[in-house]
Amino acid sequence: MKKKIVIIGAGFAGLNAAKTLSKNKEIEIVIIDRKNHHLFQPLLYQVATAGLNEADIAYPIRSIFSRKKNITVLKDVVVDFDLENRHVITKSDKIKYDYLIIAAGAEENYFGNTQWKNYAPTIKTLKDAQILRNKILNAFEMAEKAKSENEKKKFLTFIIIGGGPTGVELAGAIGEMTRITLAKDFRNIDPRLSRIILIEAGKRILPSFDEKLSTKATRDLESLGVQVWTNSLVTEINEKGVNIGNEFIEAATVIWAAGIKANKLSQKIPGEKDKSGRIKVNADLSLPNYPEIFICGDITNFEQNGTPLPGIAPVAMQQGKHAAKQILNDLKNKKREPFKYFDKGQLATIGKSKAIAEIKNIKLSGFIAWFTWIFVHILYLTGFKNRLFVMLQWGWSYFTFKKGARLIIDNEN
Amino acid sequence: MKKKIVIIGAGFAGLNAAKTLSKNKEIEIVIIDRKNHHLFQPLLYQVATAGLNEADIAYPIRSIFSRKKNITVLKDVVVDFDLENRHVITKSDKIKYDYLIIAAGAEENYFGNTQWKNYAPTIKTLKDAQILRNKILNAFEMAEKAKSENEKKKFLTFIIIGGGPTGVELAGAIGEMTRITLAKDFRNIDPRLSRIILIEAGKRILPSFDEKLSTKATRDLESLGVQVWTNSLVTEINEKGVNIGNEFIEAATVIWAAGIKANKLSQKIPGEKDKSGRIKVNADLSLPNYPEIFICGDITNFEQNGTPLPGIAPVAMQQGKHAAKQILNDLKNKKREPFKYFDKGQLATIGKSKAIAEIKNIKLSGFIAWFTWIFVHILYLTGFKNRLFVMLQWGWSYFTFKKGARLIIDNEN
């Protein structure tokens, strides 16, 4: 009988696992995702800041596997497991598996302050990006209509919490928007006078990069009008603004990019977790005591050289592929191999011609790092059409200084 | 002192009025719209059927007039008028005018059955198109998961009510989607077996066209699997489906394209209205007894040769321009001119290489009509970028048979 492999999540890990497995026609693969699309999350901040369309960075999962007849795609939500009988329980069904790959990803982490979510939305899904785009663009509209200087100031203050790549990229993009894109479009306000503050609790932004590059990124952000506040702890967020230590800053737009934790499905899995809920795994990425279950991507805690690997796309891609290969090994009665992450380097962009890159011992910044960033992101996008259209949009924005998707789409009547 | 002209609505009428007026630097223009974008409504059905992105057919109003320093754009909602003191009252302000152009457009008309709106959404705004796209794409996902044949059938039945251009274009696009785009992407259902029904109360679809062209359009729809039901009156819509006469059809997706009425603002305007609430105007488009107020576009009832002009883009464009010219005439102490609509013809598309066109006495169908349709729509789109990207998307779909924006974006977690 054909072996049945169920994959939960069509992110970078799940997609790569499915692609690797699909080469063996003797197995049956089911991919379950709550969304109908794979999302290229590294560019999500550009949807939130009106640079790209939703469809430029997302691809229907069904289309990806349209021709792979041994893959079934199911848009459904996994709610529980029956690990002893090897069943995945979804909202609408119960699915038997021989092997299970859990690649359910991560979600935002407000570190216990869940009420902050109402005032400081985060950015994990396309819906989040749409909400954020409406919020950012509406802030300028409200400022234009404001009756007092105080109100105007409140609407022109943007606070981004979290100095990792997402926070830095968002802050840079909002900086560019105010300095360039929107600069001439208003009559009562000058968007260039917007105040953009990037808040980081640690002693520097982008801590995973070399200190010199992190300083370079800070300078780049400042050149776009972004104030970088390090060693700054957020103590309260409400409808009026943010408390940083004892200082209160009034702001209409607050964005949360300060942390993620494992998808809540990890709570349904037995065994050891870290404090972010990520599941600790064996050397081959299998779940301790369950050799038929593999854990991949952001939901995984895999230690290499004494520290857990970060929740980034390259780790997820390599893990998904590795888990799939171990299943194929099993079916061929071959020995399983331990997982080893091959670090190709890291990149972050701040704005036009502004980025930093660290590839092994090579440290780059400025135009060449930016160009590398563009090249890598185009390369890893799914589908020729998305690559082409993202390139065209970027080319367009590069030469015209315009943003392509400056739409507020809400229920206003 | 500079004359101040307030324009309500940045649709085809308002936009053309503003463009014409802006050439006179001695006047001050304020455009008020509840949205931040001008929408190219003739292509909205393509956003609803995953063919185009929202940003391809919408353009920020501020961007259009970025360089016109005598134009102020206000994103606000008009709630009332003080016509005697010449004030427009918005949600957040009260604005004085010397001249007023009301081009507030139309809204959906459920002919008194407002509860039908919950089961049969319509398509007037980008938000409507997003909701419809989610609904259509989700229907296939639900059918794929359905446990019974009955349930499957319900999710694969699509009913479009209204045989005007919007209904025909929607039905054709859904037909293409099921026959081509989605055909190979599912495992438990065959989208080609979907049932698509276009309901028209009158004796034929597209009644404004010549009868032969209307028959041709019916054949084209049928070739895409659409059933065309004429002389069919909808008597009830609920969560289960639609009653047509005495027959009940179960359907998960019902779309309303059966009628429009004037924007509710028309109720705040004194004088005569027709049964759709459209305001009757003088020969120069001014409001009877208020020479400083002009009424343009879908909110207007203007009779030419004994019948009111239809609510279509070319009428709105010409009226907006005409009203603006009369104001410029006033300022130069020139005589006002009566409005006369110059009919350039009409077009409707059914699908790839399928369209009908009627230009004066020339009647076209098939590829040449379709090509004319494409040419005209590209020509009238706002902005070079939108033209380029729409052409590219269409080119892409033409050769690959794929749709560009097949995303379900909702709150599913």
DSSP label at B273?
A: B
Cβ A196 vs Cβ A171: under 8 Å: yes
**Mutation site, A30, A34, A54, interface B, largest B CB count within 10 A:** A54
d(CA B169, CA A42): 36
Cβ distance B406 to A60 less than 8 Å, yes or no, reads yes
Of B406 and A157, more confident: A157
Residue A121 CA to chain centroid, in angstroms?
A: 14
For A361, residues 6+ apart whose C-beta sits below 8 A from its C-beta are: none
**B184 vs A58, A66, A184: nearest CB:** A66
Chain B hits for A406, Cβ within 8 Å:
36-37, 55, 60, 63
Tell me the CB-side half-sphere exposure of residue B16, using CA atoms within 13 A: 20
Which residue, B216, B186, B170, B224, is CA-closest to B45? B170
| Nearest residue in A to B106, CA atom | A413
Cβ distance A127 to B407 less than 8 Å, yes or no, reads no
Q: Which pLDDT score is estimated for B400?
A: 78
d(CA A331, CA A26): 10
3-state secondary structure of B6: strand
**B137 vs A36, A184, A411: nearest CB:** A36
| Nearest residue in A to B75, CA atom | A141
Using left for φ > 0, alpha for ψ between -120 and 50, and beta otherwise, residue B80 falls in beta
d(CA B324, CA B306): 25
d(CA B42, CA B78): 25
| Nearest residue in A to B71, CA atom | A187
3-state secondary structure of B223: helix
Distances (CA, A) of A10 to A263, A320, B360: 14, 10, 54
d(CA A54, CA A48): 9
How many angstroms away from the CA of A28 is the closest CA of chain B? 12
Cβ distance B77 to A144 less than 8 Å, yes or no, reads no
Q: What's the token pair of residue A323?
A: 């888990």
d(CA B325, CA B319): 10
Cβ distance A385 to B402 less than 8 Å, yes or no, reads yes
pLDDT tens for A336-391 read: 999 999 999 999 999 999 999 999 999 999 999 999 999 999 988 888 888 888 88
How many angstroms away from the CA of A67 is the closest CA of chain B? 8
d(CA A348, CA B154): 48
Q: Which pLDDT score is estimated for A388?
A: 86
Helix (H) / strand (E) containing B300:
strand B300-301
What are the backbone angles phi and psi of residue B350, rounded to the nearest 5°?
Answer: -110, -35
Q: Which pLDDT score is estimated for B410?
A: 82
Cβ A15 vs Cβ A139: under 8 Å: no
The whole-number mean pLDDT for each consecutive block of 10 residues of chain B, a chain of 413 residues, reads: 95 97 94 96 95 92 93 96 98 96 96 95 95 96 95 97 97 94 92 96 96 97 97 96 95 96 97 96 98 98 95 96 98 97 95 94 94 92 85 83 81 63
Distances (CA, A) of B68 to B6, B22, B23: 15, 7, 9
Q: In the beta sheet, which residues pair with residue B75?
A: B33
| Nearest residue in A to B386, CA atom | A404
**Mutation site, B75, B77, B132, B394, interface A, largest A CB count within 10 A:** B75
Output the furthest CA–CA distance in chain B (Å, rounded).
74
Pairing of strands B71-75, B94-96: unpaired
Cβ distance B141 to A410 less than 8 Å, yes or no, reads no
3-state secondary structure of A151: helix
Length of chain A, in residues = 413
d(CA A250, CA A237): 10
d(CA B6, CA B99): 6
Cβ B187 vs Cβ B214: under 8 Å: no
**Residues of B acting as catalytic residues:** 169
Cβ A210 vs Cβ A180: under 8 Å: no
Question: Residue A242 — pLDDT band, cuts 50, 70, 90?
Answer: very high
pLDDT tens for A15-71 read: 999 999 999 999 999 999 999 999 999 999 999 999 999 999 999 999 999 999 999
d(CA B160, CA B157): 10
DSSP label at A86?
A: T
Cβ B99 vs Cβ B17: under 8 Å: no
Pure H helices in B195-296: 211-223
Mean pLDDT of A320-345: 97
3-state secondary structure of B346: strand
**Mutation site, A407, A408, A410, interface B, largest B CB count within 10 A:** A407
pLDDT tens for A268-318 read: 999 999 999 999 999 999 999 999 999 999 999 999 999 999 999 999 999
Distances (CA, A) of A118 to A106, A256, A409, B64: 19, 11, 19, 34
d(CA B89, CA B91): 7
Residue B245 CA to chain centroid, in angstroms?
A: 28
pTM: 0.94
**B185 vs A56, A63, A144: nearest CB:** A63
Output the furthest CA–CA distance in chain A (Å, rounded).
74
How many angstroms away from the CA of B359 is the closest CA of chain A? 35
Q: Which pLDDT score is estimated for B413?
A: 52
Q: What's the token pair of residue B167?
A: 């209904």
d(CA B172, CA B175): 5
b/e per residue B88-104 (b: at least 16 CB within 10 A):
bebeeeebebbbbbbbb
pLDDT surpasses 90 at A396: no
Cβ distance B404 to A55 less than 8 Å, yes or no, reads yes
Q: Which pLDDT score is estimated for A47?
A: 95
Cβ distance B62 to A411 less than 8 Å, yes or no, reads no
Distances (CA, A) of A201 to A158, A194, A232, B242: 17, 23, 5, 58
Cβ distance A74 to B144 less than 8 Å, yes or no, reads yes
How many angstroms away from the CA of B270 is the closest CA of chain A? 22
How many angstroms away from the CA of B147 is the closest CA of chain A? 9
Chain A hits for B145, Cβ within 8 Å:
74-76, 92-93
Question: Residue A412 — pLDDT band, cuts 50, 70, 90?
Answer: low
Cβ distance B407 to A54 less than 8 Å, yes or no, reads yes
Cβ–Cβ pairs < 8 A, chains A and B = 130
**Residues of A acting as catalytic residues:** 169
Cβ distance B392 to A389 less than 8 Å, yes or no, reads yes
